[in-house]
């Protein structure tokens, strides 16, 4: 069967929506959501992210505060904006908060979702002779530094009895990694959805291993401590998180509707969006920011400290705030799907 090549340009819009992504990308043009009251919540978002899902689920109605959206291309610069006080709250994956904590940033993890890690993969070309992660020894692997895929690579290698020193790591952002992967310049690519779905739908590669059972599958909402000290903004944050949780529940029974919105907002082909929604997005369950979650993130922090990619020991517990847990289930709750 002939492989259908996907032009690199099609991947460029995806860098606008991925919370796991590392890199030096910055904020783009934002928008405002009208609401009542004098409080404005400054929300960091990514293309096809929180605003899109809230709007699709009808959760931006009857707001008692205003929302000013700022669009970022990835988690690290979003957290830089949180640290600077330019953003009150925003969504990221499981690894950017660890690096932000390592840099001593002023951040507080206030909400979490637990999903499967089946979309976090190490991909190899269809023609590759590799059949398991143990065979990665001595091979070249592309990955975005500081991303959730970076930790997934570390953890997957460890599970196979290998370490980063056993492979040749090439740090590339996804658009460059795609070019390297499809041209045969690297043997494998550690990446996340929807890139995984795009490669599989285009028949450009196959999954060597996934992060399922290897990584924690967590995503977060991270707030600025000064915003949490303001009673009115803290109340807005509480309401905003409740709306996000309801919107995620809406996705479970509206996968196709959400995939259509997501595809339109991001430029993803619909079949790629739907595959990613089914594999990853619709598996997320809102969970408490609790001790097991802290311990899981501490493992990630310690792993990167040991690799000397974080300069000092991180106490992740100092960067969480569990006041919005309410009656949420523990972070160890099984993801859907």
What are the structural domains of the chain?
Answer: 15-116+216-319 (3.40.190.10), 121-210 (3.40.190.10)
Residue-wise pLDDT tens digits, 109-121: 999 999 888 888 9
Average pLDDT over residues 138-160: 92
Q: What confidence tens digit (pLDDT) does each residue in 304-336 have?
A: 999 999 988 999 999 999 999 999 999 998 877
Per-residue pLDDT, averaged over 187-206, amounts to 91
Q: Where are the extended beta strands (E) located within 3-99? A: 27-33, 40-45, 66-72, 89-92
Q: Is the predicted pLDDT of residue 131 greater than 70, yes or no?
A: yes
pLDDT for the residue numbered 28: 52
State yes or no: pLDDT of 17 exceeds 60.
Answer: no
Q: Identify the bridge partners of residue 221 per DSSP, sorted by sequence position.
A: 91, 111
| Terminal Cα-to-Cα distance of the chain (whole angstroms) | 30
What pLDDT was estimated at residue 128?
Answer: 95
Question: Residue 26: its pLDDT value, please?
Answer: 46
Q: What pLDDT, on the 0 to 100 scale, is given for residue 195?
A: 87
User: What pLDDT was estimated at residue 88?
Assistant: 98
User: Which contiguous run of DSSP H or E holds residue 300?
Assistant: helix 291-306
CA distance 118 to 77: 26
- pLDDT class for 245, splitting at 50, 70, 90? very high
How far apart CA 29 and CA 164 sit, in angstroms, is: 38
- Residue 134 class from Cβ within 10 Å (0-12 exposed, 13-18 middle, 19+ buried)? middle
The pLDDT tens digits for 227-238 are: 999 999 999 999
Asked whether residue 209 carries a pLDDT value surpassing 70, the answer given is yes
pLDDT over 70 (residue 1): no
- Listed range (10-14, 76-80, 102-106, 319-323) with the worst mean pLDDT: 10-14
Least confident among 31-40, 109-118, 170-179: 31-40
Beta-carbon count within 10 A of 86 CB: 14
The pLDDT of residue 74 is 74
pLDDT at residue 84 tops 90: yes
A 10 A CB-CB count for 299 gives 16
């Amino acid at each position: 069967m002939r492989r259908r090549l996907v032009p690199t340009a099609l991947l460029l819009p995806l860098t606008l929506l991925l919370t796991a992504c590392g890199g030096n990308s910055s904020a783009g043009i934002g928008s405002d959501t009208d609401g009542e009251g004098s409080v404005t919540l400054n929300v960091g978002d990514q293309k096809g992210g929180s605003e899109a899902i809230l709007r699709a689920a009808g959760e931006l109605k009857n707001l008692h505060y205003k929302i000013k959206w700022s669009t970022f291309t990835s988690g690290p610069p979003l957290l830089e904006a949180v640290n600077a006080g330019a953003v009150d709250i925003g969504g990221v994956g499981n690894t950017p908060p660890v690096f932000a904590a390592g840099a001593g940033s002023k951040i507080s993890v206030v909400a979490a979702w637990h999903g499967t890690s089946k979309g976090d993969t190490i991909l190899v070309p269809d023609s590759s002779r590799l059949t398991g992660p143990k065979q990665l020894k001595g091979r070249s692997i592309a990955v975005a530094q500081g991303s959730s895929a970076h930790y997934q690579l570390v953890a997957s290698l460890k599970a196979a009895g290998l370490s980063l020193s056993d492979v040749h790591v090439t740090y590339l952002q996804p658009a460059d990694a795609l070019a390297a992967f499809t041209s045969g310049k690297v043997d494998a690519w550690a990446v996340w959805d929807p890139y995984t779905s795009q490669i599989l739908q285009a028949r450009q590669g196959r999954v060597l291993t996934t992060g399922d059972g290897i990584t924690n599958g967590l995503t977060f909402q991270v707030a600025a401590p000064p915003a949490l000290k303001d009673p009115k903004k803290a109340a807005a944050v509480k309401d905003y998180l409740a709306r996000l949780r309801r919107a995620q529940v809406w996705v479970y029974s509206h996968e196709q509707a959400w995939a259509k919105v997501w595809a339109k907002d991001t430029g993803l082909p619909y079949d790629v969006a739907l595959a990613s929604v089914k594999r990853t997005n619709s598996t997320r369950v809102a969970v408490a920011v609790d001790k097991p979650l802290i311990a899981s993130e501490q493992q990630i922090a310690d792993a990167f400290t040991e690799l000397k990619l974080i300069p000092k020991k991180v106490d992740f517990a100092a960067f969480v705030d569990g006041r919005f847990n309410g009656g949420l289930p523990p972070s160890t709750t099984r993801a859907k799907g």
